[in-house]
Structure 1
Amino acid sequence: MHTDTERCLRAVRSKDARFDGWFFTAVLTTGIYCRPSCPVVPPKAENMVFHPSAASCQQAGFRACKRCRPDTSPGSPEWNARADSVARAMRLIHDGIVDREGVTGLAGRLGYSQRQIERQLLAELGAGPLALARAQRAQTARLLIETTTLPMAEVAFAAGFSSIRTFNDTVREVFALAPTELRARGARRSDAAAPGPRTPGVISLRLPFRAPLTPDNLFGHLAATAVPGVEEWRDGAYRRTLRLPYGHGIVALTPRPDHIACRLALTDPRDLTVAISRCRRMLDLDADPVAVDEQLRTDPLLAPLVDKAPGRRVPGTVDAAEFAVRAVLGQQVSTAAARTHAARLVTAYGTPVDDPEGGLTHLFPTTDALAALDPESLALPRSRRATLTTLVAALADGTLPLGTDSDWDEARARLHALPGFGPWTVEVIAMRALGDPDAFLPGDLGVRRSAQALGLPSTPAALTARAAAWRPWRAYAVQYLWATEDHAINILPA
């Protein structure tokens, strides 16, 4: 979008927050870059240039605006709505792969050479993987500086910097403030917004999103399907345990009118970036609801549902392998029965954790741990035991890679090849675990009932034909159809 100068100018002049994260405005006369919705008076058109990423702005020598804080914008919706190599690379970078495995690891996961990945990212984002990872480290450093009392040396290494000097230089270059000055500003802002002491070891922050957002089905689904010990709804927040690269954590997510309040307790602060990225994916916070709803409104039978509660999101997951296991446990049984089966696995094979603030007790079991389970101990039909054990074996030995870098079509093909995987299971995994916005469940009973009630075709073939006009947002159409039913997944818990 950054190449469409006239469109960018209109967004900046109208301070349109819907375009935050789509592009960034760099001001030649001041040397700063802003989000489109920056509240300051827009500069003259000839003094503005537009960039596709914060990293591109920083690489061009611009500093982040202290007023609009462009580094805290929602992410571009493109990276979760596409399956090409650039989108997959961006999802991996957000998940911290470059910091943990370097550019070599990023390229290896994507099946390209380092030079190919560099070229593709530079062409589309104006910055290579190292610059993109550096921009992300700077944002993580800012969060840790402003929301914790960690010594600066610990902040530097937790954010992924290799040295204190690099950390200091980057913070000064990106934010035009020394780390200690940034902490002082953050303390004043925090005290004004929420006076009172901070909880030691807990990081509190806001997760931004593009409005509108209807939280009912999003949090209702997560709460209604919560696995005891791993997830819970408590005091108006969805809470769950997180297995992370360097340790584990517990997150509490609370819907607010203009943001999601996030409280993170981490055993290792180096996991902050990854934890935030996974929570954002789970809540689908980088979606572009305006684009989605405009497309779905073109169907006159769907339009009333969209107008009634615009901005529905697709509830995702923080761990694709975990969700795949839970999808199999949920085949042809009630939500309550699926939770019971999952809870038994958690108790038997999960890793215990302490939760001083609630009732969470375990991390969901790893696939390696589940690979050791005795099929005869499962209170499931024999065919479902075979499906589960085959899935777990494929996940454990790497023949079924599921993650942020998955090729959606390839993952579907590998899932279909496993015994017991029909269209419903494959598509629900594609929708909620892999994040494909066009995943579709025409054979789902709830979808068919809702379609029939609305006057839409109710047979899978006919509904699929009708839904061609909803592409590439059919996963969102499913959320609107599900929301017509009186079910706990559609109700925001009290």
Structure 2
Amino acid sequence: MYQDFENCVRAVRSKDARFDGWFFTAVRTTGIYCRPSCPVVPPKPENMTFYPSAAAAQQAGFRACKRCRPDASPGSPQWNVRADVVARAMRLIGDGVVDREGVPGLAARLGYSTRQVERQLLAELGAGPLALARAQRAQTARLLIETTGLTMTDAAFAAGFASIRAFNETVRGVFALSPTELRERARGRAAGAGPADASGTPGALSLRLPYRRPLCPDNLFGHLAATAVPGVEEWRAGAYRRTLRLPHGPGVVALSPRDGHIACELRLGDLRDLAIAISRCRRLLDLDADPVAVDELLSRDPVLAPHVRKAPGRRVPGTVDGPEFAVRAVLGQQVSTAAARTHAGRLVAAHGEPVRDPEGGLTHLFPSAEALAGLDPQALAMPASRRTTVTSLVAALADGTIDLDVGGDWTEARARLARLPGFGPWTVESVAMRALGDPDAFLPTDLGTRRAAKELGLPATPAAFTRHAEAWRPWRAYAVQYLWATTDHAVNHLPKD
């Protein structure tokens, strides 16, 4: 969109928050870049330049606006709805792969050469993988400076900087303030109206995760709470809480819906995992979606239109761990939600890693594929055929035959899952929807979807239903959420404490 100058100017003049994250506005006369919804008086069009990423604006020498804080805007919805190499690269960069494995590691995961990856990112985003990772480190540094009492040295290394000098130079270059000045400014806001997107809480990081309005929390949090695995997830005091398996240690997060943001409280074993934890929570709640675009298309169908008007902004519940969800999908085949939770809870109690949760009842991380690879099938209280499905899946996940991480290839993952015993279309598409994040995943054979279709007068057979759903592309996963919402099930309601 950033190449459409007239549309970008209109979005900036109208301060349209829907386009935050889609592009960034740089003002040549001030050397500052902003989000489209910046509250300041819009500059003259001849002084505007538009960039597709914060990293590109920073690389061109522009500093982040202190009013609208563009580095904290919702991410571009492109990276979670596309399956090409640039989108996969952006998801992996957001998950910290460049910081952990470098650009060669990123390229290896994508199956391209380093030069090919750099060339494609530069062509579309105006910045290479190192610059994009640097922009993410700057955002993480700001959060640590503003929301914790860490020394600047500890904040620098927790944010992923190799030296204090690089930390100081990056913070000053991006925010036009030294780290100390940034902290003093945040304390000044806290003494007044409070920070724009973060505030400190003793013993935890309390953040605000932005999203594009509207957002319907009912099915999002209702689904997560209704399917919560004992010991790994829970609903407590108005928040969905769960454990997180992160590169440097375990974490616990509490997420609760608020007006205009999601309240996020994180307790991390290692602060180097902050950016990764935030990225995974955003994917879990589908916070980078563009609900206006989704609902506009689905409303063209007269059958769906009244349901979209009734509760707009439905999101697709995701996951923080692709392999975890795949295992849970198999455990939930042809059984009730309660039975699926029971099976998963037993697996967690037997093979999960213990964690400490002083604030609630979380006890374990969900077991990794490697931990389940040696699972005794006879220990699973389910039919023999499903035992085979579970063991085949965890073996393929453990040896890398199937990649369900954030940068995985959706088409290849589907094909390899379909070759496993016991993996029919329902399971494959459930994994594609929730674990891979494919917004066009569709479940025509799902019991809830079929009941909704029958009630609404939609075609009854899977083939005819799929043909009708062609008009919902590329948002069929969102259509499924609206279809499910027509039934009275716990997944469609915010849980009560």
| TM-score normalised by length of structure 2 | 0.98
* Matches of 2:5 and 2:211, distance apart in 1: 24
* Matches of 1:4 and 1:286, distance apart in 2: 21
1:93-492 superposed matches below 5 A? 93-193=93-193, 198-492=200-494
Aligned residue for 2:212, secondary structure, equals coil
Aligned residue for 2:192, secondary structure, equals helix
Cα deviation for residue 402 of structure 1 reads: 1.1
* Matches of 2:128 and 2:203, distance apart in 1: 34
Residue identity matched to 1:353? V
2:209–2:262 Cα contact (<8 Å) kept: yes
Cα deviation for residue 440 of structure 1 reads: 0.1
Q: Report the counterpart of residue 83 of structure 2 in structure 1.
A: 83
1:372-407 deviation line (CA, Å, top 9, x unaligned): 221111101110000000101111111111111111
* Matches of 2:203 and 2:103, distance apart in 1: 31
* Matches of 2:452 and 2:347, distance apart in 1: 33
Tell me, which stretches of 5 or more residues in structure 1 are unaligned?
A: none
Q: Report the counterpart of residue 42 of structure 2 in structure 1.
A: 42
* Matches of 1:194 and 1:235, distance apart in 2: 23
1:201–1:266 Cα contact (<8 Å) kept: no
Cα deviation for residue 457 of structure 1 reads: 1.0
* Matches of 1:406 and 1:9, distance apart in 2: 36
Cα deviation for residue 186 of structure 1 reads: 1.2
* Matches of 1:191 and 1:489, distance apart in 2: 40
| TM-score normalised by length of structure 1 | 0.99
Residue identity matched to 1:124? E
Residue identity matched to 1:38? C
* Matches of 2:288 and 2:191, distance apart in 1: 28
Runs of 4+ in 1 over 6 A off after TM superposition: none
* Matches of 1:134 and 1:13, distance apart in 2: 30
Cα deviation for residue 230 of structure 1 reads: 0.3
Identity of aligned residues (%): 78
Q: Report the counterpart of residue 63 of structure 1 in structure 2.
A: 63
1:353–1:361 Cα contact (<8 Å) kept: yes
* Matches of 1:335 and 1:71, distance apart in 2: 39
1:1-20 superposed matches below 5 A? 1-20=1-20
Residue identity matched to 1:138? A
* Matches of 1:112 and 1:188, distance apart in 2: 47
1:449–1:458 Cα contact (<8 Å) kept: no
Aligned residue for 1:223, secondary structure, equals helix
Please state if 1:53 is matched with 2:71: no
Cα deviation for residue 223 of structure 1 reads: 0.2
Cα deviation for residue 194 of structure 1 reads: 5.8
* Matches of 2:363 and 2:262, distance apart in 1: 24
Question: Structure 1 pair 354/193, CA: closer, same or farther in 2 (3 Å)?
Answer: farther
Residue identity matched to 1:192? G
2:146–2:200 Cα contact (<8 Å) kept: no
- RMSD after superposition: 1.0
* Matches of 1:379 and 1:24, distance apart in 2: 53
Cα deviation for residue 454 of structure 1 reads: 1.1
* Matches of 1:84 and 1:285, distance apart in 2: 20
* Matches of 1:427 and 1:440, distance apart in 2: 6
Give aligned pairs, total.
493
* Matches of 1:267 and 1:291, distance apart in 2: 38
2:65–2:175 Cα contact (<8 Å) kept: yes
* Matches of 1:184 and 1:345, distance apart in 2: 48
1:241–1:248 Cα contact (<8 Å) kept: yes
Cα deviation for residue 201 of structure 1 reads: 2.9
* Matches of 1:192 and 1:442, distance apart in 2: 52
Aligned residue for 1:241, secondary structure, equals strand
1:45-70 deviation line (CA, Å, top 9, x unaligned): 10000000000000000000000000
1:44-103 deviation line (CA, Å, top 9, x unaligned): 010000000000000000000000000000000000000000000000000000000000
Cα deviation for residue 463 of structure 1 reads: 0.6
* Matches of 1:49 and 1:361, distance apart in 2: 50
Aligned residue for 1:436, secondary structure, equals coil
Cα deviation for residue 456 of structure 1 reads: 1.1
1:150-188 deviation line (CA, Å, top 9, x unaligned): 110011011111000000000000000000110111122
Cα deviation for residue 257 of structure 1 reads: 1.3
Tell me, which stretches of 5 or more residues in structure 2 are unaligned?
A: none
